[in-house]
Amino acid sequence: MEKAVGGKTIELVLGDIVRQEVDAIVNAANPTLLGGGGVDGAIHRAGGPAIIEECQTLRNVRGECPIGEAVFTSAGRLPARYVIHAVGPVWQGGENREAELLASCYRNALRIAAKLGLRTVAFPSISTGIYGYPTSEAATVALVTVASFLTSEPQAPDRVRFVLYDTLTFATYAGALDAL
Ligand code: ADP
């Protein structure tokens, strides 16, 4: 399923982000940048040790990656060219700036993509796994933030793909994209 926004495209697919042949995939990272479970673990398993080595260097030089921010590395053995590591918020009930921090995490990942001149970027559903963000609220934040970036930034990628890992998450994003 896809939707045109400002001459660009938002696309939803059911699948595994490590298999995407795009300019960059986005990792739902944690502030340590040293790997974790969920999509983060899958990316490091499939991409090999080069990615974690670059993450370690970034961490030694710049320290932890704050919630809402993002950094990038190469993509090791993955078919993508880059991995953009974006740190989403842990859900704490919704009163701790979660929506603002989640939006900022998507925006900062897209800023990196724009700066690198990338045309296609794939995102997972950031924060809705181990971090516990309710999927329907996260889907709205994710899609509104991406659509607004695509319509306002001339250097934005042409195509943003959300790669959803299970049918319930896919259906939730599909409903939110319809409502956009
Ligand atoms: P967070 O810690 O930000 O919540 P998780 O990795 O735990 O991140 O989960 C984020 C979403 O990514 C969840 O919907 C999870 O099911 C999904 N996910 C897990 N593995 C993959 C994968 N290989 N490709 C795409 N999405 C995945």
In the chain, where the domains are located: 2-179
> What does pTM read for this prediction?
0.98
The single residue listed with the structure tokens 């986005």 is 26
Residue 17 CA to ligand 1 centre (angstroms): 9
Superfamily of structural domain 2-179: Leucine Aminopeptidase, subunit E, domain 1 (3.40.220.10)
For ligand 1, is residue 38 a contact (CB within 6 Å)?
Answer: yes
Q: 33 vs 12, 51, 58, 152, CA distance in Å?
A: 26, 10, 8, 30
Averaged pLDDT, 118-128: 98
Question: How far apart are alpha carbons 98 and 114 in whole angstroms?
Answer: 24
Number of other CB atoms surrounding residue 102 within 10 Å = 26
Six token digits for residue 155: 């250097």
For the segment 166-172, the average pLDDT, to the nearest whole number, is 98
Active site residue 40: yes
- For ligand 1, atom 20, the nearest C-alpha belongs to 39
How would residue 35 be classed by pLDDT, with cut points 50, 70 and 90? confident
Q: What is the mean pLDDT of residues 75-89?
A: 98
- The confidence score (pLDDT) of residue 77 equals 98
For ligand 1, atom 9, the nearest C-alpha belongs to: 129
Q: How confident is the prediction for the chain on average, in pLDDT?
A: 97
DSSP bridge pairs for 12: 162
Q: Are 140 and 178 in contact (CB under 8 A)?
A: no
Question: Which residue bears the tokens 């899958």?
Answer: 42
Single out the residue of 129, 125, 112, 103 nearest to residue 171, CA to CA: 125
Rounded Cα–Cα distance for residues 95 and 101 (Å): 11
Q: Is the CB of residue 13 less than 8 Å from the CB of residue 163? A: yes
More confident residue, 107 or 35: 107
61 Cβ contact partners less than 8 Å away, ≥ 6 residues apart: none
Give residue 27's Cα distance to chain centre. 6
Let me know: does 102 contact 126? Beta carbons within 8 Å: yes
Q: Is the CB of 131 under 6 A from ligand 1?
A: yes
d(CA 180, CA 177): 5
